[in-house]
Amino acid sequence: MKIDVVKNVLDANDRIAEENKALFEKSGTWVINLMSSPGAGKTTLVEKTIEALKDKYSIAVIEGDIEDTCDAERVARHGVPVVQINTGGACHIDGNMVREALPNFDLQGIDLLIVENVGNLVCPAEFRIGENIKAMILSTPEGADKPAKYPLMFQESAVMIINKTDLIPYVDFDMEQAKRSALGCNRDLVIFEVSCKTSEGLTGWFQWLEDQIESYKKQDP
């Protein structure tokens, strides 16, 4: 006998993500799922973003990057609540890991929650966690061919931050090719070119983030 199923295998994860999302909506917390290869600059961008926005918004961080065990300490130094997820060597963060981290926060008081995912361009894009947007970082030393190799990541992300532009004179990075290739995966992709080292281009990112948080607050009942 054949039984028609037609169900996403990650359906159970999606349901948990929806529950997380409902909690975030209730508390008015805007959530960003930050993804990239190891070393592209996730933690550095998180630190810069906290410094730029912490006077205006209350920020919290979930740290899931296993590459570097001191990521949580780096973030905590900026005086925001941070919870390190024990991913147990997993290659991505899933909805349940985020759900289990949430009791550590007082969500009511948090405007912006940044989730630093595991350094990996492959599967983090497939696991929803209840985020408002996915943002990904591509750093110039990685090369412009990454969208062609990992299109799903670029298709799923609302934002691409091209980081380490200060290194462009030393690495072969074809900016136009990278953008064209990423936009082919996702015509609506918002792109920022930044250097977390020199801070060049970061204000555009901060402003965009602020606009998102503000318009989210306005929707809030």
Partner 1 sequence: MHELSLARSIMDIIEEYDLRHHFKKVNSLKLSFGKLSSVEPSALEFAFEVLSKGTKAEGASLEFEVLPVILYCTVCGENVSAEHYQATCPLCEGGEVCLAGGTEELKLLELDVD
Q: Which is nearer to partner 1, 9 or 169 (CB)?
A: 9
Contact between residue 196 and residue 48 where contact means Cβ atoms under 8 Å apart: yes
Q: Which of 53, 76, 133, 152 binds partner 1 (CB under 8 A)?
A: 152
Determine the size of the site formed for Mg ion (CB under 5 A).
Answer: 4
Contact between residue 24 and residue 107 where contact means Cβ atoms under 8 Å apart: yes
Give min distance, CB of 221 to partner 1, in A.
Answer: 32
Task: Kindly state the tokens that stand for 190.
Answer: 């918002």
Is residue 37 a contact point for partner 1 (CB under 8 A)? no
- Specify which residues 84 forms β-bridges with: 63
Residues that bind Zn ion (CB under 5 A): 91-92, 123
Residue 175 interacts, among ligand GDP, Zn ion, partner 1, none and using kind-specific CB cut-offs from 5 to 8 Å, with none
How far is residue 167's CA from residue 106's CA, in Å, rounded to a whole number? 39
Residue 81 interacts, among partner 1, Zn ion, ligand GDP, none and using kind-specific CB cut-offs from 5 to 8 Å, with none
- Specify which residues 26 forms β-bridges with: none
How far is residue 60's CA from residue 83's CA, in Å, rounded to a whole number? 8
Is residue 190 a contact point for partner 1 (CB under 8 A)? no
Burial 154-181 (b: 16+ CB within 10 A, else e): bebbbbbbbbbbeebeeeebeeeebbeb
Does residue 6 come out as left (phi exceeding 0), alpha (psi in the -120 to 50 range) or beta? Answer: left
> Can you give the C-alpha Rg of the chain in angstroms?
17
Determine the size of the site formed for ligand GDP (CB under 6 A).
Answer: 19
Is residue 172 a contact point for partner 1 (CB under 8 A)? no
Give min distance, CB of 205 to Zn ion, in A.
Answer: 27
Contact positions with ligand GDP (CB under 6 A) in 27-46: 36, 38-44
> Residue 66: which H helix or E strand, with range?
none
Is residue 54 a contact point for ligand GDP (CB under 6 A)? no
Is residue 1 a contact point for partner 1 (CB under 8 A)? yes
Is residue 142 a contact point for ligand GDP (CB under 6 A)? no
- Specify which residues 137 forms β-bridges with: 36, 161
Is residue 131 a contact point for Mg ion (CB under 5 A)? no
Residues forming contacts to ligand GDP in the complex (CB under 6 A) are 36, 38-44, 65, 67-68, 119, 163-164, 166-167, 195-197
Residues forming contacts to partner 1 in the complex (CB under 8 A) are 1-13, 90-92, 94, 120, 122-123, 126, 147-148, 151-152, 155, 177, 180-181, 183-187
